[in-house]
Amino acid sequence: MNLERDIAVMLHRWLLVAALILWPTLGQTQELGTPNGQVVLTVAGAIDATNRGPYDESEDVFFKYHERQFDKAVAFDLAMLEGLGVHEITIACDGWPAPIRFAGPWLEDVLAAAGAHGKTITVLALDGYASELSTEDLAAYDWMVAVKRDGHYMDIGQRSPLWLVYARRDGAAITADDELRWPWAAFMIEVR
């Protein structure tokens, strides 16, 4: 590994997360279009951007089922997520038969596009599993909103539509405890 590059990437990520989470008035949200494809991720809560209407009890049945309401939100289809930049990380985890190559945007770029400004985020999966991440959690790892696994989009049975994963900056092996923090089949991020 290139130590200077790793330090520069770590510093860049820490500064970006700090700007997004701690000092929301520093950032300007980018112009978001309307999704053309199927929406796979909705970001709601303490955000500045919006490209969809507020929660609608009659239309947003799945949000209602999960008892999630919002005044404004950003809806992303796959093309919009990939438009934020597609990066790759390869992760080997205890108990996996082989390392997996993930591809997708960095979580920090998704949060920046939504104009997120809060101290925590909750990532909600289709089955109701939720993972809460603090500012420290976001800064400690290279979080990715994975849309592909080994070069292919994931199907519902393969932890799709999205799998939130991270690479450890310290080079330590990923463990089953790390994997427990990774919501798969993720569809919503709430910023608080």
Residues 121-142 have pLDDT tens digits of 999 999 999 999 998 999 999 9
Residue 34, Cβ density class (10 Å: 0-12 exposed, 13-18 middle, ≥19 buried): exposed
pLDDT of the residue at 25: 37
Any idea what the CATH number is for the domain that residue 51 is in? 3.90.420.10
Structurally, how many domains does the chain consist of? Answer: 1
pLDDT over 70 at 20, yes or no: no
pLDDT over 60 at 164, yes or no: yes
Entry pTM: 0.83
pLDDT of the residue at 158: 81
| Cβ neighbours around 69 below 10 Å, total | 13
Determine which helix (DSSP H) or strand (DSSP E) holds 62, and give its type and residue range: helix 61-65
Nearest alpha carbon to residue 110 among 67, 135, 152, 78: 78
- Asked if 146 contacts 104 with a C-beta cutoff of 8 angstroms, the reply is yes
Domain of residue 132: give its range. 3-191
Alpha carbon distances (Å) from 24 to 71, 72, 84, 118, 161:
19, 17, 19, 8, 29
Instruction: Determine the angle formed by the axes of helices 107-114 and 3-21, rounding to 10 degrees.
Output: 30
